[in-house]
Amino acid sequence: MTPELIASLTIFALAVFLGFELISRVPTLLHTPLMSGTNAIHGIVLVGAMLIAGSADSTLEQVLAFVAVVFATVNVVGGFLVTDRMLHMFKGKRPEGPPEDEVP
């Protein structure tokens, strides 16, 4: 094992504990926003997609990397915006968007 791998595994192990510890006392009310917020955070994979897109040589890799960048960006941008809209509601204020359509 390389020293880099050991360092990575250490970080991984600590992050596991931290992840558990951080949300151990979350009220039910916040389950959905928290799921949505953490959903946006795994969009960090955009960083990986960018690294690949920034160095891909073959056409196949470029296509894969391009789609990965699009997907990951949707994950990040959409995830944070939807979470914000959800949490905005808790303030009791109106959403800024146009009034929502009726569902038949």
Partner 1 sequence: MTTPLAVSLETVNLLYAVSAVLLVFGIKQLSSPRTARQGNFVAAAGMAIAVGITLFHPDVEKYGLMAVGIAVGTVIGVVSARAVKMTAIPQMVALFNGVGGGAVALIAAAEYHRLAPDLGALPVDVIAGILFGALVGSISFAGSLVAFGKLQELLPGRPLTFPGQIVVNGLLLVLAIACGVGAGVTENGIWIVLLIVLALVLGAAAVLPIGGADMPVVISLLNAFTGLAAASSGFVLGNNALIIGGTLVGASGTLLTILMGRAMNRSLANVLFGAFGAAPAAGPAAAPGASGDGAMVRQTTAEDTAVMLAYASQVMVVPGYGLAVAQAQHVTRELADLLEARGVRVRYAIHPVAGRMPGHMNVLLAEANVPYPALLDMDDANPELNRTDVALVVGANDVTNPAARSNPESPLYGMPILDVDHAKNVVVLKRSMNPGFAGIDNELYTNPKTAMLFGDAKDSLERLVAAVKAV
- Interaction between residue 59 and partner 1 (CB under 8 A): no
Q: Which of residues 7-26 bind partner 1 (CB under 8 A)?
A: 8, 11-12, 15-20, 22-26
As measured in angstroms, the least distance from the Cβ of 46 to partner 1 is 6
Residues in contact with partner 1, shown as a per-residue x/- string from 37 to 56 under the rule CB under 8 A: xxxxxxxxxxxxxxxxxxxx
Token code pair at residue 39: 């959903």
- Interaction between residue 3 and partner 1 (CB under 8 A): no
Q: Which residues touch 58 (CB under 8 Å, ≥6 apart)?
A: none
Whole-angstrom Cα distance, residue 19 to residue 82?
Answer: 22
Report the half-sphere exposure of 58 (CA within 13 A, side-chain side): 3
As measured in angstroms, the least distance from the Cβ of 24 to partner 1 is 7
Residues in contact with partner 1, shown as a per-residue x/- string from 76 to 95 under the rule CB under 8 A: xxxxxxxxxxxxxxxxx-xx
Q: Is 62 helix (H, G, I), strand (E, B) or coil?
A: helix
